[in-house]
Structure 1
Amino acid sequence: MRYFPLFYDLHHKPVLVVGGGDVASRKVESLINAGAHVSVVSPTLDPFLVGLYNTQQISWIKGFYQSHLIDEFIQIWATTDNPELNHRVHKDAKLAGIMVNVVDDTEYCDFITPSMISRGRIQVAFSSGGGSPVLIRNLRRTFEAVLPQNLGLLADFAASKRNDIKSKLPDVTRRRLFWEYFFESQQVKRAKDNVELQACYNTIVASNQFDPSYQVTWIETGRDFEMLTLKALSVMQSAECVLYEHGVEPVFIEGCRRDAQRDTWKSVPHLQHQLAIQQQNKCAVVVLIAELSPALQAELSLGCGEIKILRYARQSS
């Protein structure tokens, strides 16, 4: 992975865009949406940029680029159709220690911009490191079709309750479990306004349905990640602890919840010991097994009691 993904706060920060054409217009619009103070240096401006200038949404440095212009900015974009000029901007920015992006020229970029889906506060970013923009656009379209339209509403509501939920649930684990339960509620997923969300919030806070509890889900992964069932994937993403058999392929471990505790096991007695610890901690556990042989299932049943295992979806012969 060449690029480290991050979201950069440009609110009220000065950004310089070199070039006033169509490419600059697309970048300037995104920068304004992020709250940046944008200045454009160019002898002429695209009509879209003229409109932004006339409504005082950008500053216009009318003229040709000069190296001394970059001094007051924290980020530079070179968007002209002149590669020689763009590379000169890049050189000046590097000498000044300023982040620079030469559009459509990744070798001259300190950073690249991903393809984005925005739902209010929620931002989903896709990137191929500049290698396949068409593939990324197709991927974004796929996600855009399935992501709920009320994500922004949910995010705003959750942000408004940060202090309230801390007062009601001082324990950080209970707060996390509460929000997981809240966002999984079908009523919450269908909510169209804050009134509906507040009613769900009050009901769930008053219940004990989200309290920590010990539970174990056994998953036989197989060898093909794409053959996992949706139920198995859901459990893997919600478990607080992942205990994986020695030999389970890394893709299955990486497919589990990012902040879950993870540990391997090589024998049934070792697994028994780990499960006993998680039972005391009241954790939701997922146990990953590559292939469940009859002998291993018998040993697990003897050592860990009755088990019901989620199997991967086997291809029909």
Structure 2
Amino acid sequence: MQYFPLFVNLNHKPVLVVGGGEVASRKVDSLIRAGASVTIVSPQVEDYLAKLIDDGECQWIQTFYSQDLLQQDYVQVWATTDNPSLNHQVHHDAKEKGILVNVVDDLPYCDFITPSMINRGRIQIAISSGGAAPVLIRNIREKLESVLSHNLALQADFAASKRSDIKVKLPTVEERRKFWEVFFARQDVDKASSHADLEKAYNDAIVHGFSRKGAVTWVEYGEDVELLTLKALRLMQQAELVLFDTQCPFAFVDLIRRDAERIEFSTQADLSHALEKGKQEDLRIVVLFAPNSTNVTFLQDQETLISLGNQK
């Protein structure tokens, strides 16, 4: 992983953009949307930027760039001109002052890059190839746009409005997580077009719509992680504990929810002990097991088995 993904709070933070052309217009637009206090340095600016300046959305220093314009309080600097030498000088000056800098379309001179974004109100999805394949990233974004519900912003706003209420109704973090997992998987939530629709689904789910109990799911791994079913992926993302043997490919383990506890076992005794402890704590458990594994003898009637069959 070349770049660490990070969402930065730029609200009311000073950001300097060197350049006033089309590239600067795109960056300034995004920065303003994020609430940044943008200052543009350029002898001329595009009409779009001129309107933003006239509307008081950003500031304009109408001059050529010079080092003394780069103040220490800027949290980011963007070099967007079509002059590589000038952009590199901006990079050099910013590095001397310890300020993060991005020279647009010049990766060796970027402390950070901006991903392709999908925005649904409070929901933001960032996609990046580290600058290696922008067309591929655009294709991925288009595919995601086509499958994501268009009411995600509505769902996110509703969940935010219930932060206090849900803590009263469900006092533990575990209960609240299990509730929201079931709530957001409901078809009426996916199709909701108003706050009232979501309120109805919410009240129904609180009364009898979700299980507080733990469960055990056995998922067979093989050589091809893409053969996992959607059901297996959903249960793996809900797991609070994952148990896997020493031969399990990391690609399978990596699909488990990030904050789930992960325990590697090498013997049936280790597996049995960890499994029993997890059951006593009433956790949602996923056991990743190899094809034809003898560890499947631990299966019980109430547990779920997901087999991928023979993989080649």
Q: Same fold (TM over 0.5)?
A: yes
Query: d(CA) in 2 for partners of 1:194 and 1:129?
Result: 38
Mapped pair 1:69 → 2:69: yes
After TM superposition, list the pairs within 5 Å mapping 1:154-173 onto structure 2. 154-173=155-174
The 10-residue stretch of structure 1 (263-272 or 114-123) with the greater mean CA deviation from structure 2: 263-272
Aligned to 2:189: 188
Query: d(CA) in 1 for partners of 2:306 and 2:58?
Result: 57
SS in 1 for 2:70: helix
Give CA-to-partner distance per residue, 1:150-187, whole Å, 9 cap, x none: 11111111111111111222211111111111111111
Give CA-to-partner distance per residue, 1:242-285, whole Å, 9 cap, x none: 11122011100001111111112222232222221111111111
After TM superposition, the score normalised by the length of structure 2 is 0.94
Alpha-carbon distance, 1:86 to partner? 0.5
Query: d(CA) in 1 for partners of 2:117 and 2:296?
Result: 46
Aligned to 1:12: 12
Aligned to 1:205: 206
The amino acid that maps onto 2:45 is L
Query: d(CA) in 2 for partners of 1:200 and 1:145?
Result: 25
Aligned to 1:232: 232
Do the aligned partners of 1:240 and 1:260 also contact (CA within 8 Å) in 2?
yes
Give CA-to-partner distance per residue, 1:41-88, whole Å, 9 cap, x none: 111111111121122211111111111111142211000000110111
Do the aligned partners of 2:221 and 2:291 also contact (CA within 8 Å) in 1?
yes
The amino acid that maps onto 1:189 is D
Alpha-carbon distance, 1:209 to partner? 2.6
Aligned to 2:84: 83
Mapped pair 1:310 → 2:311: no
Alpha-carbon distance, 1:304 to partner? 4.3
Q: Percent identity?
A: 52
Do the aligned partners of 1:223 and 1:290 also contact (CA within 8 Å) in 2?
no
* Structure 1 vs Structure 2 CA RMSD: 1.7
Query: d(CA) in 2 for partners of 1:28 and 1:167?
Result: 42
Query: d(CA) in 2 for partners of 1:218 and 1:175?
Result: 24
Rate the CA distance shift 1:57–1:208 in 2: closer, same or farther, 3 A: closer
* 5+ residue gaps, structure 1: none
The amino acid that maps onto 2:28 is V
Query: d(CA) in 2 for partners of 1:40 and 1:305?
Result: 66
Alpha-carbon distance, 1:22 to partner? 0.5
Number of residues paired by the alignment?
A: 310
Do the aligned partners of 2:188 and 2:201 also contact (CA within 8 Å) in 1?
yes
The amino acid that maps onto 1:41 is V
Rate the CA distance shift 1:309–1:167 in 2: closer, same or farther, 3 A: closer
Rate the CA distance shift 1:308–1:194 in 2: closer, same or farther, 3 A: closer
Do the aligned partners of 2:216 and 2:304 also contact (CA within 8 Å) in 1?
no
Do the aligned partners of 2:88 and 2:109 also contact (CA within 8 Å) in 1?
yes
Do the aligned partners of 1:229 and 1:313 also contact (CA within 8 Å) in 2?
no
After TM superposition, list the pairs within 5 Å mapping 1:1-317 onto structure 2. 1-71=1-71, 72-207=73-208, 209-211=210-212, 213-293=213-293, 296=294, 300-301=296-297, 303-306=298-301, 309-312=305-308, 314=310
Report runs of 4+ in structure 1 exceeding 6 Å deviation. Answer: none
